[in-house]
Chain A
Amino acid sequence: MDALSGLLHGFQVALQPANLFWCFVGCLLGTIVGILPGLGPAATIAMLLPLTYKMDPAGGIIMMAGIYYGAKYGGSTTSILLNIPGESSSVVTCLDGYQMARKGRAGAALGIAAIASFVAGTVGVVGLTLIAPPVAAFALSFSSPENFALMCLGLALVVLLSGQSLIKGMLSMLLGLWLSSIGTDLFTAQARFIFGQAALLGHIDVMVIAIGVFAIAEVLSSIEAGDDAKVLPVPRGLRNLLPNMAELKACRFAFLNGSVTGFLLGCLPGAGATIASFISYGIEKAVSKHPEQFGQGAPEGVAAPEGANNADTGGALVPLLTLGIPGGSSTAIMLSALVLWGVKPGPLMMLESPDVFWGLVCSMYLGNVMLLILNLPLVPLFAQILRLSAYILFPCILGISIVGAYGGSMFNLGLVVAFGLLGYLMVKLKYPAAPLILGFVLGDNMERALRQSLMMSQGDLTTFVHRPISAIMLGLAVLILLTPLLGHLNRLRVRAITESG
């Protein structure tokens, strides 16, 4: 079955009333799950799994996928409005989304996030439709050295996330690497940096750190600044609440960048939407004509990571459906559901289970349209949250932070308190928080890939430069890291020429 006839068959399946209904239910649940703290898509899919046993496999997987990508649409809402990342992949959205909200452009930021999600989500599905098998084969050529090089490339982005002081940005990143090491070493079961706390053996949850250094720190900083009445300005009128043409025009490349980066990184098992969102943000800032506006409320700084976050969904389904390899927790639960229904994900799935494969792919086109229709009208409604007085909004942010971080563990709440103070001190001392999250997200994967690579090569470090993909990515990472130094040398050269002339 070629792609065109597959698509025709898929739309016949997806447009059946029952499947349309399940697609809508999944998208709606996903949006709610994305907005609400403490309830991730993986947990929701797992909770609903028993309910789908008696469902038609196509309807079941369509609903689960709807929850998965719907949550990514909703995850940006609290990042933009309250500086609380709804999902770990929405952490980067806080950087410019919340700054846009501070400037009275919360509605525009929410609108850009919704449009970026729609564009990139659709591009991701097109990629899944047309180039799934070759991309899956390419993803398989990624071994530990390539993964290590990818993590190095990701860490090199610290140069772009550091703000005024590169040294402080790098120290923040190193702090993130250290936090990622806390817990049990996967290779030897050695407990590292646990300070006698058994609760730390299982590693720290990224959301606990993100809530502390972003949300709690923001509340404390705002209280210190004396933001007494309305916290943030909200313009009146629907037109002022949605993105204007200039903002959408500025985001053109960001939509494309987020789509391609998110899809390609989504295909790599283990890379994930969080890394994709950081990398797309870094690319966007690197190629921008006004990089100094990033972190101050640049619309592209919302469009790129939100796009990557959503295109990742299509990418993540490539290894799941064509190879049977799940890239994350949500896709792992979807894999178990497929197996329970007797569907075998793998190279033959398109032929053996065309209803499920093509039905799912086509339902994602419809789901993305549903999500845009569902989310855009909600933008003005969500933006009204910011009209609340500070003395009501701040306790609410603290309450949402508690709900989001708790997950049955009082220890997690203690960590949120500690990371809240750390985040506040970082704001006071002008240490950027984003590199800390970047270091934390990449640290564990990076160490694993490094050690696996050195095991494979019996300690030979040249393995990283002998493999072409790894060598190219490491070269790019070095180039990015050297950018500030080259800029400094260039300024010295210009000054010398000016003085001598």
Chain B
Amino acid sequence: MGRTIFKDGDVISGAVLAALGVYIVMQSLAWEYSGPDGPGPGFFPFWYGVAMVALSLLLVVNAVRRSGGERQGAIDWPAIKRALSTWAAFALSVALMNWLGFLLSFALLTFFIVAVVFRRSLIAAGVTAVVTALGFYLVFPVALSLELPTGLFGF
């Protein structure tokens, strides 16, 4: 049963949000709650922090009470891995934009998604990456003069 409860997303998310609520309350106590001019910067966060702790604990209690009778559905780890690898590639491409600029980073991201996530041929991935990245570059920075991250190569 312990493992079931641990696996329950409501218990985990409830615990995380309760911890966040405690953090908010602790932080708010470090700021003025009320002064001669009225409520201070700690007033509002204190109350929503308290509400967050209370509701998170309620969520956890409900989930624990429920977990005995309900079985969790099977988790499709390969599917989750596909989504998280896309997110990781997106995060990496954003991190690389300071050095490679939008054009190259976005082309690499597109190549990864088409070739690895969707398992298309390398040629299809290469063509899609180049055409999409160039299309974005021509529409936004060139035609509309919208600012996009530039890297060491100046684009």
Contacts and interface: CB of A to CB of B under 8 A. Distances in A.
B40 to A, nearest CB: 7
A370 interface: no
B117 A429 contact: no
B149 A395 contact: no
A350 interface: no
Contacts of A216: 87, 90
A382 interface: no
B67 to A, nearest CB: 15
A396 to B, nearest CB: 6
Contact of B110 (A36, A178, A395, A421): A395
Nearest to A172: B17
Interface string A447-464: 100111011001100000
Given A410-B97, A410-B149, A181 B44 contact: yes
Nearest to B28: A192
A369 interface: no
A167 B83 contact: no
Given A178-B48, A410-B98, A447-B44, A192 B31 contact: yes
A457 B62 CA distance: 40
Contacts of A228: 118
Given A178-B45, A451-B43, A396 B13 contact: no
Given A39-B144, A395-B132, A178 B20 contact: yes
Interface string B113-134: 1100110100000001100110
Contact of A171 (B27, B55, B132, B140): B55
A36 B87 contact: no
Contact of B44 (A390, A414, A451): A451
B38 A451 contact: yes
Given A174-B48, A391-B114, A399-B132, A168 B59 contact: yes
Chain B at the A interface: SS class: helix
A178 B19 CA distance: 13
Contacts of B45: 178, 181, 192-193
Given A167-B59, A223-B86, A399 B31 contact: no
Chain A at the B interface: SS class: helix
A190 interface: yes
Contacts of B32: 188, 190
B132 A223 contact: no
Nearest to B40: A188
Contacts of B86: 219-220, 223, 394
Given A178-B45, A395-B110, A408 B118 contact: no
Interface in B78-119: 79-80, 82-84, 86-87, 90-91, 94, 97-98, 102, 106, 109-110, 113-114, 117-118
A499 interface: no
B20 A428 contact: no
A228 B87 CA distance: 17
Interface residues of B, number: 61
A45 to B, nearest CB: 16
A223 B117 contact: yes
B4 interface: no
Interface in A43-68: none
Contacts of B38: 451-452, 454-455, 458-459
A378 to B, nearest CB: 17
A396 B83 contact: no
B18 to A, nearest CB: 10
Interface in B1-34: 9-10, 13, 17, 20-21, 24, 27, 31-32, 34
A392 B128 contact: yes
A171 B79 CA distance: 27
A488 to B, nearest CB: 14
Contacts of B62: 167
Nearest to A399: B136
B136 to A, nearest CB: 5
Nearest to A458: B38
Contact of B79 (A36, A181, A224): A224
Contacts of B17: 171, 175
A187 B41 contact: yes
Contacts of B24: 178, 193
A402 B91 contact: no
Contacts of B138: none
A225 B110 CA distance: 19
A402 B44 contact: no
Interface in A374-406: 390-392, 394-396, 398-399, 402-403, 406
19 contacts: A168-B59, A170-B51, A174-B21, A174-B52, A174-B55, A178-B24, A187-B40, A187-B41, A220-B83, A220-B86, A223-B86, A391-B113, A391-B114, A395-B128, A417-B90, A420-B90, A447-B44, A451-B43, A459-B38
Q: A-B pairs with the 7 shortest C-beta distances?
A: A455-B38, A224-B83, A391-B118, A395-B110, A185-B41, A190-B41, A220-B83
Interface of A: 36, 38-39, 167-168, 170-171, 174-175, 177-178, 181, 185, 187-188, 190, 192-193, 216, 219-221, 223-226, 228, 390-392, 394-396, 398-399, 402-403, 406-408, 410, 413-414, 416-417, 420-421, 424-425, 428-431, 446-447, 450-452, 454-455, 458-459
Given A396-B132, A402-B148, 7 more contacts: A188-B40, A220-B83, A224-B82, A395-B128, A395-B129, A403-B148, A458-B38
